[in-house]
Structure 1
Amino acid sequence: MLLWLPALGVAAKHYLPFADALALEGVAVYVHEWRGHGSSDLRASRDRDWGYRELLTLDLPASEAAISADLPAATRLIGGHSLGGQLACCRLALSPESAQRIWLVASGAPYWRAFPAPRRLLLPLAYRFLPWLAFRRGALPGRAIGFGGTEARSLIRDWARTGLAGRYAAAGLDADLEAALAKVTAPVDAVLLRDDWLAPASSLRFLLSKLGAPGTAPTTLGAEALGVPADHFSWMRQPEALAEALLDEAGRDGALQAAAASSGSSAR
């Protein structure tokens, strides 16, 4: 069973083809809906705000409880795309019993020093400007500027803090996320997209360096394997090759067979 966490600003419905591809191979998939997007009844505004703390300690536990009600004995994987992959790692750090394995797709830490030049030289400006804009407007107008959706200002602040300092933290969260991440020993399967400048290999390596998990060699997919451009989002339209790559990585040590045997074949 896989709990899948979307990228920033992406509604859960856009991952249904990916969930279907995995379900055909016997892996039950539950796609979490971030508050503020898609079917969520909340929307970020000047009067309604949230950050990593709410996502990690309120929303994800609610999804986990729903899964437990459906599949109480299932072997659990947690994973995500982009920011979803980062928060999957953070959730497992806070709740080690919540999953036995991590799947990452087009994901990596946003720390500016973990990006190649010359782009990394511009990132600190973005990490200062976007929180300022979000607080000025009451929420980040992501659709208007071409980055994310309408995002809560505290969420953008938490994300930008990691981008500037290279450390994971959440306003109002007592736990030390960095120390907790270092204790994560669950195996990690990761897929890089060859032409993805938003999550290059160096940013993934930086994220993985925070974990206590065994080292992993990510699978890199290009356009010829995917059948679509190998960028941050195009794979979602045609996810079969990427799903197969994750299944192959997990299958090397029997994790896929265990997950399929305990969860059946459905997509949620």
Structure 2
Amino acid sequence: MPDTPTAPPAPLTLSVASADGHQAELSLWRGSSARPGLLWLPALGVPARKYRHFATALAERGCAVALHEWRGHESSNRRAGRRSDWGYAELLGDIAASRTALAQAGHATRWLIGGHSLGAQLAALALTQAPQDYAGYIIVGSGQPWWRGFPGVHKLGLLAAIAGFRSLGALCGHFPGDRIGFGGREARGVMRDWARSAWSGDYRPQRVTADLEHALRQLTQPALALSLASDSYAPRGSLQHLLAKLPQLRLSQIELGDAAFAGGKAGHFDWMRDPLPVVRPLMDWIDRLEG
């Protein structure tokens, strides 16, 4: 299908309310076609607004996009602290609340779910909880953070992070990612769940009673995995470990090289400034999905 973008309408702002009183805003770009919409989950510590260029480029091509806001950031009414803690269990509840808000808005009848980095991991976990709610799954620049999936010296760095991040959370009452340059200000529980998955290679977050590892193996949706050649946060082994947990997905996999990007680097965050090399194969995949 030719790449003929047209100016999309201005985004809507939807209110999202979780069962425990958490509130945040969901930005929705309405599509101009009958394609399924995309519920998009950001990377760890990244505000939803950082994906506006990505969302706009998709909406220009007729795809509705909703940008989820993580608990603890920007439009969220919570901030991580010693008396305000949460983990993956609460983040999964927030994702379900965003999906409910989209259903109530009534714009698109079908939705895909996807994300960047931690967002793609939690998108897969959310998919296990409501597989009937999503027509497909999209990964960009992500992988499971098991330390054995990382090359060479990066293994040592990840092992140090597993121990250090938990200690920082206990000392500060929250994880000060905004100060150390990894993620943002995060809840201790989020980083405990991250560290557990990075150490064990499995998803067994606290306060989640379902067997997520078993549920991941049952998913059969169509899926697209876009990897980035210079992504040190999600190297090839990390992505393959994530995909190995999802053996029944109908998977398409594409690696984007440095030459695809105007800045000359296919890095973990670089694509957010130049999203078209990601948007084009994503839209091609959606069009094939519809065909």
Normalising to structure 2: TM-score of the pair? 0.84
Q: Which moved more, 1:65-74 or 1:122-131?
A: 65-74
Q: Provide the C-alpha distance between the structure 2 equivalents of 1:17 and 1:104, rounded to a whole number of angstroms.
A: 17
CA contact (8 A) 1:190 1:246 kept: no
CA contact (8 A) 1:79 1:104 kept: yes
Query: What is the letter of the counterpart of residue 149 of structure 1?
Result: G
Q: Provide the C-alpha distance between the structure 2 equivalents of 1:252 and 1:65, rounded to a whole number of angstroms.
A: 27
Deviation at residue 73 of structure 1 after TM alignment = 5.4
Counterpart of 2:204 in structure 1 is 169
Secondary structure at 1:110 match in 2: coil
Mapping of residues 97-246 of structure 1, within 5 Å: 97-214=132-249, 216-228=251-263, 229-246=265-282
Q: Does 1:53 align with 2:64?
A: no
Provide, for residues 20-58 of structure 1, a one-character-per-residue CA deviation record: whole Å limited to 9, x for no partner: 1110111100000001112112110111000000011x2
Q: Provide the C-alpha distance between the structure 2 equivalents of 1:188 and 1:202, rounded to a whole number of angstroms.
A: 18
Q: 2:64 aligns with which of 24, 28, 32?
A: 28
Secondary structure at 1:218 match in 2: strand
Structure with the bigger RCO (C-alpha within 8 Å, sep 6+) is 1
Q: 2:104 aligns with which of 58, 69, 74?
A: 69
Q: Does 1:9 align with 2:45?
A: yes
Distance 1:234 1:73, change over 3 A: closer
Q: Does 1:253 align with 2:270?
A: no
Question: Structure 2 stretches of 5 or more lacking a match?
Answer: 1-36
Deviation at residue 143 of structure 1 after TM alignment = 1.4
Q: Provide the C-alpha distance between the structure 2 equivalents of 1:50 and 1:243, rounded to a whole number of angstroms.
A: 33
Query: What is the letter of the counterpart of residue 83 of structure 2?
Result: D
Counterpart of 2:25 in structure 1 is none
Q: Provide the C-alpha distance between the structure 2 equivalents of 1:215 and 1:74, rounded to a whole number of angstroms.
A: 22
Q: Provide the C-alpha distance between the structure 2 equivalents of 1:168 and 1:214, rounded to a whole number of angstroms.
A: 18
CA contact (8 A) 2:220 2:250 kept: no
Deviation at residue 76 of structure 1 after TM alignment = 1.1
Q: Percent identity?
A: 46
Provide, for residues 91-138 of structure 1, a one-character-per-residue CA deviation record: whole Å limited to 9, x for no partner: 001111121100110010000111111211331221111011112110
CA contact (8 A) 1:226 1:242 kept: no
Secondary structure at 2:289 match in 1: coil
Deviation at residue 72 of structure 1 after TM alignment = 6.3
Could you say which structure has the higher strand fraction?
Answer: 2
Deviation at residue 217 of structure 1 after TM alignment = 4.5
